[in-house]
Structure 1
Amino acid sequence: MFSNSKLSQLWLLIMLLLVAGLGYQLTAHKQLPIETNILALLPANHQDPAAQQAFDHIATSMSNKVVFLVGSPNSATMISATEQFSHQLAQLGLFANIDAKMSNSQQQAWAQLYYPKRFQLLTPAQQQRLAHNPQQQTAQVLQALYNPFSGVTGAELKHDPFLLFRDYLTQLSAQSGHFSLNQGFLTTEYHQRHYALITAELAGSPYSVKLQHQLPALDALQQQIINQYSTPTEKVDILHTGVIFYAAHGTQSAEKEISTIGLGSLLGIIVLLVVVYRSPLPLALALLSISCGLIAAFVGTVAIFGKVHLFSLVFGASLIGVSIDYAFHYLTDRLAAGRDWDPHQGLKHIFVAISLGLITSLIGYLGMLVAPFPGLQQLSLFSAIGLIAAYATVVCWYPSLASKPCSPRPLPCHQLLNAWLQLWHIPSVRWSVPLVLAIASILGLYHTHYDDDIRQLQALPQQLKQQEATIKAITGVSSGQQMLLVKAKTAQDLLTKLAAVDQQLNTLVATHKLDSYQSIGHYLPSIAAQKHNFELVKQLYQQQGLALDQQIKLSQPPQFTATFQPLTIAEYLASPVSKPLRFTWLGKINQSPTEQIYGAVILLSGVNQLSAIKQFTAQDSQLSYLNKADEVSHLFGQYRQRVTELLIAATLVILALLVWRYGIKKGLQMILPSFIGGCAGIAITSISGTPLNLFNLLALILILGIGIDYSLFFAELKSTDNNHHRRSTLLAITLSALTTVLSFGLLALSATQAIHSFGITVLTGIVIAWLLAPLAMTPSSPATSNIGVK
């Protein structure tokens, strides 16, 4: 059965096809099929397709932007540094578009867009005044004329005698932020320092590794400008924020962790193999199993998902320590047999145990498919395919490649192994050790605390967070993704709805429940509102025109000769004025597969009382509060509960399988080490101060699947097996546990909290599962208990 060369040839053909597939995947495209976008890990919002489209649109638009602030105590120095910096930014090739100094045409864009429509554009305060007390507008004109600093000219009075347009533009300017024009640059003052704003649009995706590799050149340029314009008394600084900086940090962290985990595991395995087997053949065979597993896992994942996420690779790197378990059992059996080695009998001896081990491990890994997170599904698939390939390599190739016996010698640490085995034959040890560990673990579980915050998936450097906070304080604009989705059946209905929502948000701002917001409704009234404004202005001219003429003695009385020409959505979106907020207008979106509606987004900044926002949106079906991080964090909590149910189900399935083969007593003895190990892993993680989350429960699934392997090999020992055979089994299990600890334990070094927490749980659980695995061993019969003892 096991000597069938056709099986070996079939696996060789499969691996050759996989290697060819790997070559194609790595060379078919300009970029490696590796995904670095943290958002790709998150599930889509299937409950509200419109919300998902809104989030995707806004996330894409905002993620491509980079904001710079050039600051100095001296305004002239700030302008010179900004001019030089913006000029050299354009030469980096990192940005497709840079907005720094505004041209004359850009500066005049506001007047060009709004001035021809001035008779139908009013602020809310002007609307109230003209509707209820129009004479106040006349009084305001007189006040402006007598104010020497108002700057009212005869030309302005001729074309806008009631000075309505200047007030309208003043309000728009106030809503546009904290900035004013200084020599063509948008500048502001903050803590006695002058700052100039530069915004840039990336020449590609912020998750492009090619673009990320250009960031050192940007850092060098920033430092050059700082050094060039700083003096001992005046220090220039340049602040920046943008998704690309966080993405680059995440990529670097992942690459570093893959190197640490993958290379650390590999080096640890090599050392173990050299020390234990003292031969190049076991090392070559072990590396062959690892290579086949990783190649198959990578190719299979890319074939199904199109790309492999770096997050999955960080976890997948730990597959090295698991995929070699099957090799250890075969090679240790060979070492123990010495000159009596039969490669096919050796495989037959471990075949049931490694097959059951594969099945239980797959139950653990594939259990992650229940979570609708693409990253977790990738990890699940990556690990499952890798394990199957490593298993197939041992079963199909090892009998041929390791057919020769090794030089006879005692097993390493055979006396220590024998003493450990004898210890577990003592009845008091067999019940007291598990009992003490179980009680300690249960007491530790009392301190458990869960935190489902999705932000744990990304390690955010303090320096970048501080710069982002400073930029928010200076500009008054947040780069966060808290927003309101406003929907309506038609475009004009949407503008009307935006105006109504803006009024309610103004109330929240006034009561300090919200710091500020950005809405396209500020700059684009609906046609119905414009018509209403037009009528109010017309009435003003009719009612107050003569009175104004009598008081300021105009060359000719104000005459209202304007015709209504609405400011359209197309005109606004085509103007440079709309550029900062153009992306918030979604236009037509899919409410359902058969229904289209119009949508726009209002960006929120500084939500101080989230309950007020949610209460406000809950009262209106056309209004939705969107926060992807909160949404997915909520899903994390929901699926944490589902995974708990899955864990219980998986445990019962595995227990049923064990009871079916080994009976109730031994089945319970086999699953107890994994159960106590899982409890201990959660307890230690919680006691260490690390919050628990969905990943810790996924860690429990792995502890269950991997820990059962250790019990399986002890359970497959017969009471007639000599101690030499038992020691070889313990040695193989110990080596397997060491490599698993090296692999998953190194995850505890991760800077990403979720991965760090996962690593601590698995590390603790696997150690406890290994420690208690001899519980599944059948005590030796008196006739054989001392055979092979040296």
Structure 2
Amino acid sequence: MITHKRPHRHLALLWALVVCLLVGHNAWLWLGKRIVPDTDILALLPADQRDPVLQQSFTHMVDSAQQRVVILVGAAEWNDARRAADAWSAALAPHADLLRLDAAGDEVQAGWLDGLQAHATLLISKEQENQLREQPAGFWLESALGRLYGAFGGPKLGAFRDDPFGLLAGWMQERAGETPVRPRDGRLFVAGQGREYVLLTYTLQQPAFSLAAQRQVVPLLDQAGAAAQRAVPGVEVIKAGVVLHAAAAGRQASSEVETIGLGSLAGIVLLTWLTFRSVKPITLVLLAIGIGFLGALSVCWLLFGRIHLLTLVFGASLIGVAQDYGIYFLCHRLGADPALDSPRLLRRLLPGLGLTLLAAVIGYMGLALTPFPGLRHMAVFSALGLVFAWLTVACWFPALVKARDMRAGWLARRYTGLAARWPRVSASPATLALLALLGAGALLGCMRLTVNDDIRSLQSSPPQLVQDQIKLGKLLDVPSPVQYYLVRGATDQQVLQREEALKRKLDPLIAQGHIAGYQALSNWVPSAQTQRERLALVEGRLLGAEGPLAALAQQVGEDRGWVEATRTHLLSRAAPMSPDAFLRTPASEPWRHLWIGEVGGVRASIVALRGMRYASIPVLERAAEGLEGVQWVDKVGGISAVLGRYRAYMGWVVLGAYALVYLVLFPRYRGRTWRVLAPTAAASVLTLALLGLSGQSLQLFHVLALMLLLGVGVDYGIFMQERHGKDGDAPWLAVGLSAANTLLSFGLLALSGTPALRAFGLTMLAGTALVWLAAPCFILSEEETHAETVYA
């Protein structure tokens, strides 16, 4: 016995050294290097799909909204809305270091003209440009006289000489038409649905996804809302902002951790106590899983130099399969002869334990065959985690678990003999009839199963926040940040020209009601070619020797000197415009996100759409066809397509993993190999059928759960086929305890309010329960087992 113990003691010490190195390396990564997991979803995509310009465009659109908090304070009367808004602003005024109030009202109106005076003669609306080409000189003379003498001729922006024909005023009205918001009494005003609203916009001074910011902002907004209600009872407050959705998700996650997480942990500890009358076994199992996580993280960091947050989350759940190894050993230790020491027991169990590890690693490494870097990282992380956890069981459990440590609890005693009374799969008429009935139900359910990869189906924000977002979007006519046109070119001017070509194709779509309008930097900064054409139009149609300007001078009694002075003045306000110069003016602040600038040697911009209907997406996509450098971007559709490709790849990976696992198991089990895989395969098919019958749509997270189910279910099949006569009920107890822990760990996710986790949990709940019930049905009789089992 000493000859068995001493080598194993050396092995345990060697593994202790490895674990110390892992702990030290992880401490250095988190505390010394202070690594931050990658959260960029595009980092998970194949390299050929990671378009840096496209990625930057999405970042521009998201960042423009991410740090913004938008508030509408509304009442039936404008004065009431003003009082409530003032009370709201006063409540937040002391917290400008967290929420900075953006400029509003008269400040915004004044900012429109800043930096534009030098280019005013070039700023002409589309309608007026057409009129310049089509209308006679008399039209423009009447227009100028009307502006000069008419009581309602419109605003006189500066001196009459600055804009005698109202071109700048018309252009500014066109720009104002890009939003329903108007200045009023020093505030921003919008009306709709029988109410008048004050618009307040704040810029969040901390990252919207910062937990500290969320904990501070939400209570402050609640306090401001209460102040508005006290000032004007019944006032309506509409709030929108990424920070609100992030805070809601954080609260939901915290709640689920407290309920589902703590509930499952308590259930696992209780089951372990009822089985072994000790918490030592669960401590050892958790120790193995923890070392698996640390080892996987260290090696993945050394291999890839980075780690993605989703890899940590999903990988941590996958290596939860590692509990099976420890439970398998503990249950056999409980049922083994006390005279048999733990190292010799391990040697007897090693063939089955080794096959469970190999089958699981093969299943998860199938992910590495896909072209998605994210899945490859998850595969390597999960496989490494299983290996490190398995080595922990093999190296430490024999030294830490003695026969005297194990005592059968109430659950272990009640579980005795159940497997022997379980129905078996055979060729009897009753069995065949039951199988036919299950097959028909599975076929019916799978035929009813639909597919839905739409990312919007994974949204889990509170209904009130969603309703506020929709209402605010309608009132403010806010462009969608996830559907837009991306325009590229070699130079700024080429980008502007391509924007203008796109706008000519979009104008008919406005008339047809597909969109309400568009926002583009070329609305503010025409291309150099357009600027030259407009200047030529103004000079030729308005400022000529016999043109409307000269006729106007005769009408108002001015001489030719006045004509020349006015002409010179207007031409002096026709300096060429450039995007860079405009972006430095205060008027550009709301539109800066539309200009991407240079990315990888390419210049790019965004054309955003207002009032877009989702039903019009195919029409809008076709509008970009044939336009060089113009790309329709549907981020919702793009991410949904990625999820669909992940789901399809994962489906094939699951099937391939079954084939590989079968080939690995065949040399040991020969004709019984199908019995190892049959419980998991049957449970997977029945789970899909249940999803179809219950009206669920198949998505990526269902398929990912099926991959995890393969790793779990193969363990159960191997455990049941590794039964020896002297083992008694140890394999069946190991399957039952492992399945119960899996149901508590993953099945309870079915209660989650997050759709993705709920889909994962529902699949694991149904699948694990079905594998548990099916595993004993495929074992052989005692006589057949005795005859066919190969002893380790």
Q: TM-score, normalised by structure 2?
A: 0.89
- In structure 2, do the counterparts of structure 1 residues 46 and 39 end up closer, same or farther at CA, with 3 Å as the change threshold? closer
In the alignment, the residues of structure 2 paired with residue 157 and residue 279 of structure 1 have an alpha-carbon distance, to the nearest angstrom, of: 92
Out of 591, 594, 612, the position equivalent to 1:607 is 612
1:593 maps to which residue? none
One-letter amino acid of the structure 2 residue matched with residue 180 of structure 1: R
In the alignment, the residues of structure 2 paired with residue 736 and residue 432 of structure 1 have an alpha-carbon distance, to the nearest angstrom, of: 31
Displacement, 1:277?
0.9
Q: Please tell me whether residue 499 in structure 1 is matched to residue 500 in structure 2.
A: yes
One-letter amino acid of the structure 1 residue matched with residue 71 of structure 2: F
Q: How does 1:384-783 map to 2 (within 5 A)?
A: 384-406=383-405, 412=411, 414=413, 417-424=416-423, 427=426, 428=428, 436-539=437-540, 540-542=542-544, 543-554=547-558, 557-559=562-564, 560-561=567-568, 562-563=571-572, 564-590=574-600, 596-608=601-613, 609-663=616-670, 665-718=671-724, 721-722=725-726, 725-781=727-783
Displacement, 1:4?
2.5
Q: Please tell me whether residue 85 in structure 1 is matched to residue 88 in structure 2.
A: yes
- In structure 2, do the counterparts of structure 1 residues 256 and 388 end up closer, same or farther at CA, with 3 Å as the change threshold? farther
Displacement, 1:525?
1.0
- In structure 2, do the counterparts of structure 1 residues 73 and 301 end up closer, same or farther at CA, with 3 Å as the change threshold? farther
- Check conservation: 1:95, 1:203, Cα contact below 8 A: yes
In the alignment, the residues of structure 1 paired with residue 522 and residue 692 of structure 2 have an alpha-carbon distance, to the nearest angstrom, of: 48
Displacement, 1:576?
0.8
Displacement, 1:331?
1.2
One-letter amino acid of the structure 2 residue matched with residue 252 of structure 1: R
Displacement, 1:602?
0.9
Displacement, 1:294?
4.3
In the alignment, the residues of structure 1 paired with residue 452 and residue 584 of structure 2 have an alpha-carbon distance, to the nearest angstrom, of: 45
**Structure 1: which 5+ runs fail to align?**
591-595, 786-790
- In structure 2, do the counterparts of structure 1 residues 782 and 684 end up closer, same or farther at CA, with 3 Å as the change threshold? closer
In the alignment, the residues of structure 2 paired with residue 78 and residue 476 of structure 1 have an alpha-carbon distance, to the nearest angstrom, of: 20
- Check conservation: 1:189, 1:195, Cα contact below 8 A: yes
In the alignment, the residues of structure 1 paired with residue 209 and residue 486 of structure 2 have an alpha-carbon distance, to the nearest angstrom, of: 26
Out of 207, 210, 213, the position equivalent to 1:211 is 213
**Structure 2: which 5+ runs fail to align?**
788-792
Displacement, 1:625?
0.8
One-letter amino acid of the structure 1 residue matched with residue 715 of structure 2: D
Q: Which digits, 9 at most, give the CA deviation of each residue in 1:622-671, with x for residues without a partner? A: 110112221121122223222222222111111111222211x3111221
In the alignment, the residues of structure 2 paired with residue 651 and residue 4 of structure 1 have an alpha-carbon distance, to the nearest angstrom, of: 34
One-letter amino acid of the structure 1 residue matched with residue 356 of structure 2: G
- In structure 2, do the counterparts of structure 1 residues 565 and 649 end up closer, same or farther at CA, with 3 Å as the change threshold? same
Displacement, 1:317?
6.1
- Check conservation: 2:105, 2:184, Cα contact below 8 A: no
- In structure 2, do the counterparts of structure 1 residues 230 and 38 end up closer, same or farther at CA, with 3 Å as the change threshold? farther
Displacement, 1:481?
1.5
- In structure 2, do the counterparts of structure 1 residues 151 and 520 end up closer, same or farther at CA, with 3 Å as the change threshold? closer
Displacement, 1:695?
2.0
In the alignment, the residues of structure 2 paired with residue 78 and residue 27 of structure 1 have an alpha-carbon distance, to the nearest angstrom, of: 51
- Check conservation: 1:101, 1:184, Cα contact below 8 A: yes
Displacement, 1:471?
0.8
Q: How does 1:268-287 map to 2 (within 5 A)?
A: 268-287=267-286
One-letter amino acid of the structure 2 residue matched with residue 117 of structure 1: H
1:164 maps to which residue? 167
In the alignment, the residues of structure 2 paired with residue 666 and residue 208 of structure 1 have an alpha-carbon distance, to the nearest angstrom, of: 54
* DSSP-derived class of the 1:484 partner: strand
Q: TM-score, normalised by structure 1?
A: 0.89
1:788 maps to which residue? none
- Check conservation: 2:293, 2:385, Cα contact below 8 A: yes
- Check conservation: 2:502, 2:624, Cα contact below 8 A: no
- In structure 2, do the counterparts of structure 1 residues 751 and 313 end up closer, same or farther at CA, with 3 Å as the change threshold? farther
Q: Please tell me whether residue 8 in structure 1 is matched to residue 12 in structure 2.
A: yes
Q: Please tell me whether residue 20 in structure 1 is matched to residue 24 in structure 2.
A: yes
* DSSP-derived class of the 1:339 partner: coil
Displacement, 1:182?
1.7
Displacement, 1:246?
1.9
In the alignment, the residues of structure 2 paired with residue 93 and residue 391 of structure 1 have an alpha-carbon distance, to the nearest angstrom, of: 54
Displacement, 1:299?
5.6
Displacement, 1:456?
3.8
Q: Which digits, 9 at most, give the CA deviation of each residue in 1:488-544, with x for residues without a partner? A: 221112212212222222221110112332111111112221222122212212122
* DSSP-derived class of the 2:650 partner: helix
In the alignment, the residues of structure 2 paired with residue 408 and residue 530 of structure 1 have an alpha-carbon distance, to the nearest angstrom, of: 89
One-letter amino acid of the structure 2 residue matched with residue 101 of structure 1: A
- In structure 2, do the counterparts of structure 1 residues 138 and 339 end up closer, same or farther at CA, with 3 Å as the change threshold? same
One-letter amino acid of the structure 2 residue matched with residue 66 of structure 1: V
Larger CA deviation: 621-630 vs 147-156: 147-156
1:50 maps to which residue? 53
Displacement, 1:49?
3.5
- In structure 2, do the counterparts of structure 1 residues 313 and 46 end up closer, same or farther at CA, with 3 Å as the change threshold? closer
What percent of counterpart residues are identical? 30
1:193 maps to which residue? 195
One-letter amino acid of the structure 2 residue matched with residue 655 of structure 1: Y
In the alignment, the residues of structure 2 paired with residue 250 and residue 395 of structure 1 have an alpha-carbon distance, to the nearest angstrom, of: 40
In the alignment, the residues of structure 1 paired with residue 629 and residue 191 of structure 2 have an alpha-carbon distance, to the nearest angstrom, of: 39
One-letter amino acid of the structure 1 residue matched with residue 652 of structure 2: E
In the alignment, the residues of structure 2 paired with residue 44 and residue 57 of structure 1 have an alpha-carbon distance, to the nearest angstrom, of: 21
Q: Which digits, 9 at most, give the CA deviation of each residue in 1:34-82, with x for residues without a partner? A: 6777777667772644222322333233322222222233323333443
* DSSP-derived class of the 2:697 partner: coil
One-letter amino acid of the structure 2 residue matched with residue 567 of structure 1: M
Larger CA deviation: 217-226 vs 459-468: 217-226
- In structure 2, do the counterparts of structure 1 residues 497 and 154 end up closer, same or farther at CA, with 3 Å as the change threshold? closer
In the alignment, the residues of structure 2 paired with residue 585 and residue 78 of structure 1 have an alpha-carbon distance, to the nearest angstrom, of: 35
Task: Tell me the matched-pair count.
Answer: 768
1:325 maps to which residue? 324
Larger CA deviation: 128-137 vs 259-268: 259-268
Displacement, 1:554?
4.5
Larger CA deviation: 346-355 vs 193-202: 193-202
Q: Which digits, 9 at most, give the CA deviation of each residue in 1:653-700, with x for residues without a partner? A: 11111222211x311122111111110111112222221112222222
One-letter amino acid of the structure 2 residue matched with residue 129 of structure 1: Q
In the alignment, the residues of structure 2 paired with residue 329 and residue 630 of structure 1 have an alpha-carbon distance, to the nearest angstrom, of: 45
In the alignment, the residues of structure 2 paired with residue 656 and residue 491 of structure 1 have an alpha-carbon distance, to the nearest angstrom, of: 60
Q: Which digits, 9 at most, give the CA deviation of each residue in 1:586-634, with x for residues without a partner? A: 11123xxxxx221100112343211111111122231101122211211
Q: Please tell me whether residue 174 in structure 1 is matched to residue 180 in structure 2.
A: no
2:790 maps to which residue? none
1:336 maps to which residue? 335
One-letter amino acid of the structure 2 residue matched with residue 650 of structure 1: A
Q: Which digits, 9 at most, give the CA deviation of each residue in 1:235-289, with x for residues without a partner? A: 2233221222222223333343344443333222211111011134324323333
In the alignment, the residues of structure 2 paired with residue 55 and residue 783 of structure 1 have an alpha-carbon distance, to the nearest angstrom, of: 61
Q: How does 1:131-142 map to 2 (within 5 A)?
A: 131-135=133-137, 136-142=139-145
Q: Which digits, 9 at most, give the CA deviation of each residue in 1:332-391, with x for residues without a partner? A: 111112533410122122211122112222233333445566765565455434333322
- Check conservation: 2:720, 2:776, Cα contact below 8 A: yes
Displacement, 1:320?
7.7
Q: How does 1:287-326 map to 2 (within 5 A)?
A: 287-297=286-296, 306=306, 309=309, 315=314, 318=317, 322-326=321-325
Larger CA deviation: 59-68 vs 341-350: 59-68
Q: Which digits, 9 at most, give the CA deviation of each residue in 1:120-178, with x for residues without a partner? A: 22212222222232421222223444532225669733333323222222222222x11
Displacement, 1:412?
4.4
Q: How does 1:95-106 map to 2 (within 5 A)?
A: 95=98, 97-102=100-105, 104=107, 106=108
Larger CA deviation: 81-90 vs 49-58: 81-90
- Check conservation: 1:95, 1:202, Cα contact below 8 A: yes
